[in-house]
Amino acid sequence: IIFSSLIEESSLAYAAGSEGFWGLGKAGLITTIVVAVVLIATVAWLINGTKKRD
């Protein structure tokens, strides 16, 4: 439910064409934050996984 609402907000922001954050707009900023959080979580999970095996 939360994820679908984020997608709707992103598409609305793109449709409005609001560019405030270095030309990204609100949707670009949200997407960047989500991708960064996922990447950080993935790297942390991989590091913890390899430490446990050694």
- Cα gap 26→12, rounded to integer Å: 9
Ranges of residues in the chain whose predicted pLDDT is under 50: 1, 15-16
Q: Where are the domains of the chain?
A: 2-53
pLDDT at 23: 64
User: Taking the model in full, what pTM does it have?
Assistant: 0.50
State the number of CA atoms in the 13 A half-sphere of 40 facing the CB: 6
pLDDT at 1: 46
